[in-house]
Amino acid sequence: MVETVSAYIDGRRVLTSDTYDNIDPSTGQSLGQVVRSGADEVDRAVRAARAAQKSWRLTSPETRAKLLTRLADLIERDAESLALLESEDAGKPLGQARIDATVAARYFRFYGHAIDSYYGITIPLSPDLHAYTRREPYGVTGHIVAWNYPMQLFSRAVAAAIVTGNCSVVKPADETPRTAVAIAELAIEAGFPAGVLNVVPGIGAETGAALSAHDGVDHIGFVGSTQIGSVIAHAAAERIVPAVLELGGKSAQIVFPDADLETTATFVAKAILQNAGQTCSAGSRLLVHTSVHDQLVELVAQRFAAVSIGPGKADKDLGPLVSLKQQGRVKAFLTNLTKGEVLLGGSIPDDPSLAGGAYFSPTLVDGVDPQADIAQQEIFGPVLVCNTFDTEEEALALANGTEYALLGAIWTKDLSRAHRLAADIQAGQVYINTYGAGGGVELPFGGFKKSGYGREKGYEALDAFTETKTVIVKL
């Protein structure tokens, strides 16, 4: 019998009679039942976090650091089993899921070390005044995470929140609930007090809505679509609480004639095929100088054609999309294409062994209308669209020509040009002669425009989860 995925509240599993099916996107079959947390479970989790926070905020940074690094050790110990859960839930190749487990541990270890040197400041006003600042936790933080990188998104949000003295309630994505509950259980094994970390799986419109609207949540974080991000932002605004939103992307890779095309093609292919293109920071637009267009497109097409496709546990290059619903959404972009040439892919694979799964072939579309939906909207699939340019100004206009502004990349040997364009590209991160799809744990991450606001990752996340209190003393 497959065990029902429970909620995890105040250090213990919580089951309810209301559940839903957890579907394996590789096969279309159920992996078992998941608790459908409602307003009552969310309220219990928030109350547990509030109660635990009274003492957790008073624990020393040294104690919090030890617990976070201990949790990192346990995640590394259980990395293989966590990766298997992630591969089954999300459909991603097992090798990529193993990387996710490693990075999840790295977040807890990084913030466990960072808190040791996170200080306030003194402000020199006059000899008879002593002024200083304190960084204080908000209290209870709510986190609604997406299904594309469940372990990474969980860890990057929670680690920075709890290490600064907050207690957290996490709503994992409907499709990928299991690793969140597993890590919350590991936190208890590591020695965290009950209630510091709580997980409420369920349906977004129910559980996520209840969490974002709860009066006991002092700070809300969300990773997902721009449309739902707007709903979360409104809920936060209603209660006058801060929000960190990491939303959609339509990131451009700009390639100039002097670029190393072989290297560029490899990175371009990886940046859109990783996790089947289901990455907010995927390099989904290729903007290439006219003079090297044919050569680069051929190199990218060769790499697409060599991709192997299969179930997540088979550890091929490309796994399925997260659901048949997402598969249908990706297919619709190609069905509604009015301008552009599909050079490769554009359809569901016809391999009988993949029947029932949510697969989609690596797709390369050339010469699209820059204003068409396929060039403007986030597809969240293995679909790369290509346009050409002749001048820097034209390249910049194309790169900045969507409502998103999450990442950008510049491929050139001219470093003056690279720095010049890096300053003008509207994006939260800009890569030059490389592409990291979000980059390392240490790099602040977030977007401009409709890609969201606030920053996760790096040292800046510690600021995001604390408030500044200024104290002035008359001597």
Give the pairing of strands 363-366 and 383-389: parallel
Cβ pair 167, 53 in contact under 8 A: yes
The structure tokens 């002749």 sit at 390
- Please determine, for residue 2, whether its predicted confidence score (pLDDT) is greater than 90: no
84: phi then psi, degrees, rounded to nearest 5: -65, -45
Q: Which two tokens stand for residue 87?
A: 């591969």
**Structural contact between residues 364 and 345, judged by C-beta atoms closer than 8 angstroms:** yes
- CB contact at 8 A, 138 and 242: yes
Q: Mean pLDDT over residues 221-242, rounded?
A: 95
Residues of the chain with CATH 3.40.309.10: 252-440
Evaluate if residue 301 carries a pLDDT over 60.
Answer: yes
Which overall architecture, per CATH, does domain 7-247+451-474 show?
3-Layer(aba) Sandwich (3.40)
Helix 94-114 to helix 79-90 angle, to the nearest 10 degrees?
Answer: 120
pLDDT tens digits, one per residue of 160-192: 999 999 999 999 999 999 999 999 999 999 999
pLDDT in tens, 86-124: 999 999 999 999 999 999 999 999 999 999 999 999 999
pTM for the model: 0.95
Round the average pLDDT of the chain to a whole number and report it: 96
Contact (CB, 8 A) for 384 and 297: no
Element (H, E) at 210: helix 209-213
Residues labelled catalytic: 246
CATH number of 252-440: 3.40.309.10
Collapsed DSSP state (helix, strand, coil) of residue 124: strand
User: Confidence band (pLDDT; 50, 70, 90) for 440?
Assistant: confident
Locate CATH 3.40.605.10 in the chain.
7-247+451-474
Q: Which two tokens stand for residue 168?
A: 């957290």
Q: Can you tell me the distance from the alpha carbon of 141 to that of 469, in angstroms, rounded to the nearest whole number? A: 19
